[in-house]
Protein backbone atom coordinates (compact mmCIF):
# COMPACT_ATOMS: atom_id res chain seq x y z
CA UNK A 1 0.00 0.00 0.00
CA UNK A 2 1.27 3.47 -0.82
CA UNK A 3 1.92 6.11 1.77
CA UNK A 4 -0.98 8.55 2.15
CA UNK A 5 -0.43 12.25 2.69
CA UNK A 6 -2.89 14.98 3.54
CA UNK A 7 -3.72 17.82 1.15
CA UNK A 8 -5.65 20.91 2.18
CA UNK A 9 -7.06 23.44 -0.26
CA UNK A 10 -9.78 26.06 -0.49
CA UNK A 11 -12.57 26.00 -3.05
CA UNK A 12 -15.68 27.99 -3.84
CA UNK A 13 -18.89 27.06 -2.04
CA UNK A 14 -20.60 26.00 -5.29
CA UNK A 15 -17.75 23.62 -6.13
CA UNK A 16 -17.86 22.13 -2.63
CA UNK A 17 -21.63 21.67 -2.92
CA UNK A 18 -21.16 19.88 -6.25
CA UNK A 19 -18.53 17.62 -4.65
CA UNK A 20 -20.86 16.88 -1.73
CA UNK A 21 -23.82 16.21 -4.04
CA UNK A 22 -21.82 13.71 -6.08
CA UNK A 23 -20.37 12.30 -2.87
CA UNK A 24 -23.83 11.73 -1.39
CA UNK A 25 -24.77 9.77 -4.52
CA UNK A 26 -21.61 7.64 -4.64
CA UNK A 27 -20.27 7.56 -1.07
CA UNK A 28 -23.06 8.36 1.40
CA UNK A 29 -21.92 8.60 5.01
CA UNK A 30 -23.18 9.80 8.35
CA UNK A 31 -21.26 13.08 8.27
CA UNK A 32 -22.50 16.67 8.49
CA UNK A 33 -22.26 16.96 4.68
CA UNK A 34 -23.68 13.46 4.06
CA UNK A 35 -20.76 11.83 2.27
CA UNK A 36 -17.20 10.56 2.51
CA UNK A 37 -15.40 13.52 0.98
CA UNK A 38 -12.05 11.74 0.88
CA UNK A 39 -13.42 8.95 -1.32
CA UNK A 40 -15.25 11.21 -3.76
CA UNK A 41 -12.31 13.62 -4.02
CA UNK A 42 -9.91 10.72 -4.67
CA UNK A 43 -12.18 9.42 -7.42
CA UNK A 44 -12.57 12.87 -8.99
CA UNK A 45 -8.83 13.52 -8.87
CA UNK A 46 -7.88 10.10 -10.30
CA UNK A 47 -10.35 10.35 -13.18
CA UNK A 48 -9.42 13.92 -14.04
CA UNK A 49 -5.68 13.38 -13.84
CA UNK A 50 -6.09 10.57 -16.37
CA UNK A 51 -8.33 12.71 -18.59
CA UNK A 52 -6.19 15.84 -18.42
CA UNK A 53 -2.97 13.95 -19.17
CA UNK A 54 -4.42 12.46 -22.39
CA UNK A 55 -3.70 9.02 -20.97
CA UNK A 56 0.01 9.60 -20.38
CA UNK A 57 -0.49 9.45 -16.60
CA UNK A 58 -2.25 6.31 -15.43
CA UNK A 59 -3.19 5.94 -11.77
CA UNK A 60 -4.19 2.55 -10.47
CA UNK A 61 -7.67 2.65 -9.02
CA UNK A 62 -8.04 1.20 -5.53
CA UNK A 63 -10.16 -1.96 -5.31
CA UNK A 64 -12.61 -0.34 -2.88
CA UNK A 65 -13.62 2.34 -5.39
CA UNK A 66 -14.07 -0.21 -8.17
CA UNK A 67 -16.21 -2.37 -5.88
CA UNK A 68 -18.37 0.59 -4.85
CA UNK A 69 -18.99 1.57 -8.45
CA UNK A 70 -20.05 -1.95 -9.39
CA UNK A 71 -22.30 -2.16 -6.29
CA UNK A 72 -24.24 0.90 -7.42
CA UNK A 73 -24.25 0.07 -11.13
CA UNK A 74 -27.64 -1.70 -11.13
CA UNK A 75 -29.18 1.11 -9.10
CA UNK A 76 -27.72 3.78 -11.39
CA UNK A 77 -28.89 1.95 -14.54
CA UNK A 78 -32.41 1.63 -13.11
CA UNK A 79 -32.49 5.36 -12.31
CA UNK A 80 -31.36 6.25 -15.84
CA UNK A 81 -33.94 3.94 -17.42
CA UNK A 82 -36.69 5.39 -15.24
CA UNK A 83 -35.68 8.97 -16.04
CA UNK A 84 -35.56 8.25 -19.79
CA UNK A 85 -38.82 6.29 -19.94
CA UNK A 86 -40.94 8.47 -17.64
CA UNK A 87 -41.86 11.01 -20.37
CA UNK A 88 -42.89 8.15 -22.69
CA UNK A 89 -45.00 6.52 -19.99
CA UNK A 90 -46.71 9.84 -19.30
CA UNK A 91 -47.45 10.28 -22.99
CA UNK A 92 -48.87 6.74 -23.20
CA UNK A 93 -51.09 7.44 -20.18
CA UNK A 94 -52.38 10.62 -21.86
CA UNK A 95 -53.13 8.70 -25.07
CA UNK A 96 -54.99 5.99 -23.12
CA UNK A 97 -57.04 8.63 -21.29
CA UNK A 98 -57.86 10.32 -24.60
CA UNK A 99 -58.87 6.99 -26.16
CA UNK A 100 -61.05 6.10 -23.16
CA UNK A 101 -62.78 9.47 -23.46
CA UNK A 102 -63.35 8.97 -27.19
CA UNK A 103 -64.74 5.45 -26.61
CA UNK A 104 -67.12 6.74 -23.92
CA UNK A 105 -68.31 9.48 -26.26
CA UNK A 106 -68.89 6.97 -29.10
CA UNK A 107 -70.84 4.66 -26.76
CA UNK A 108 -73.00 7.56 -25.68
CA UNK A 109 -73.68 8.55 -29.31
CA UNK A 110 -74.46 4.93 -30.26
CA UNK A 111 -76.79 4.67 -27.28
CA UNK A 112 -78.66 7.76 -28.46
CA UNK A 113 -78.97 6.33 -31.97
CA UNK A 114 -80.31 3.02 -30.68
CA UNK A 115 -82.94 4.74 -28.57
Q: CA Rg, the chain, in Å?
A: 26
Give pLDDT, residue 58: 72
Phi-psi sector, 35: left (phi>0), alpha (psi -120 to 50), beta: beta
Q: Which of 41, 38, 48, 39 has the alpha carbon at shortest distance from 18?
A: 41
Name residue 35's beta-bridge partners.
Answer: 28
pLDDT in tens, 18-75: 999 999 999 999 999 999 999 999 888 888 887 788 767 777 666 554 545 555 777 7
Name residue 28's beta-bridge partners.
Answer: 35
Does residue 94 register a pLDDT over 70?
Answer: yes
Does residue 13 register a pLDDT over 90?
Answer: yes
Give pLDDT, residue 41: 92
Give pLDDT, residue 1: 54
* Residue 62 main-chain phi, psi, to 5 deg: -65, 150
Amino acid sequence: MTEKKSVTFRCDADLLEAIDKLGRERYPAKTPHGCDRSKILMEVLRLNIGALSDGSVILREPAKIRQHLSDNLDERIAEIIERKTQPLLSEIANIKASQASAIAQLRAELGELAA
